[in-house]
Amino acid sequence: MDNGVVVEQHTGKPNMKRKKMRDIHHLTPFWNMMSHLAIGLFSLACVYPFLFVVIISFTDEKALARDGYSFFPKQWSLDAYTYIFKTSDQLLRSYGVTLFITVVGTLLSLAIVSLYAYAISRSYFHFRGFFSFIAFFTMLFGGGLVPSYIVVSQVLHLKDTIWALILPMCVSAFSILIMRTFFKTMVPDAIIESGKIDGAGEFRVFFYLVLPISLPGLATIGLFSALGYWNDWFNALLYIDDAKLLPLQSLLIKIETNIQFILQNSAVSGGTERSAIARSLPAETTRMAMVVLATVPIIFAYPFFQRYFVQGLTIGAVKE
């Protein structure tokens, strides 16, 4: 993001001695360094844990058992990754589930949200007030988790289906708000009118005139939605028991809780039985490798899409 604060070029001689003559456009060298240091360190602290997990995933399992997690492991190894790609059908399957819900969910969400937002952004839509209200009221009040759960599982019968991962989060009033603002400011009624004079219907105008000039807005809400689907584990926690439908994030939770379960019961259950289960669980480096694989797509994608997220955040903050 260009934060555009005008900082004029330093034109004065750099070694003017008298304090009064100091170039007031810049911070003093000391404070400039302190700013870089403070923000740089914070920025590093934000990235550091990910780098750490990457390093752990490339650590030799024995070295890990001996030395604990280390930023400079004594022995490196690719075993975790070769193990995953050779043996872990479940991981690939979960990758597939996550990819599927992300793509299908985002497309569905884009379709529903943009149509809805477009309609309520038109001042000549007679029922605009009513449909705006039923969308935005949901931002203020909801029936709560339990009734939603009962509706999804017992009325719509979505439990243990892929739709339980897609439908509950496919529309958000917030995205509608962003898109409505976008359509209102970027697509004046005059354009629509001109399309209509040429004899195009509402849908034709929407698909051929409005959508092409709305790509930045669609990118913003599409990315919000894709990120939401990729990172979602809550719906799976509620609705999915079938391992075939576990998305990536939930697989990571499952592995974690299974290990805890074994650790907690280690005093109770028999030794041999326990170690048999323990062996079937992925080793520590493998688990960290899975975390890396679940994160890498985001890490590589988000710097390119950053400005759309910023845009969404700032549009969302402005009314109308």
Q: Is 300 in the site for another protein (CB under 8 A)?
A: no
What is the nearest approach in angstroms of another protein to the Cβ of residue 280? 20
**Residue 246 in contact with residue 97, Cβ under 8 Å?**
yes
User: Of the candidates 136, 146, 207, 131, which has an alpha carbon nearest to the alpha carbon of residue 177?
Assistant: 136
For residues 190-209, which are near another protein according to CB under 8 A?
A: 201-203, 206
Tokens of 176: 């509608």
Q: Is 294 in the site for another protein (CB under 8 A)?
A: yes
Distance from C-alpha of 288 to C-alpha of 57, rounded to nearest angstrom? 5
Distance from C-alpha of 294 to C-alpha of 286, rounded to nearest angstrom? 12
Q: Is 303 in the site for another protein (CB under 8 A)?
A: yes
Nearer to another protein, 209 or 288 (CB): 288
Nearer to another protein, 218 or 298 (CB): 298
What is the nearest approach in angstroms of another protein to the Cβ of residue 161? 15
Q: Is 62 in the site for another protein (CB under 8 A)?
A: no
Q: Is 306 in the site for another protein (CB under 8 A)?
A: yes
Helix (H, G, I), strand (E, B) or coil at 230: helix
**In angstroms, what CA-CA distances link 254 with 209, 297, 300, 317?**
47, 21, 26, 37
Non-local (6+) Cβ contacts of 266 within 8 A are 274
Contact range with another protein by CB under 8 A, out of 2-10, 74-82, 187-195, 273-281: 2-10
What is the nearest approach in angstroms of another protein to the Cβ of residue 299? 7
For residues 238-267, which are near another protein according to CB under 8 A?
A: 238, 249-250, 252-253, 256-257, 260
Contact range with another protein by CB under 8 A, out of 89-97, 139-147, 183-191, 271-279: 139-147
Nearer to another protein, 100 or 309 (CB): 309
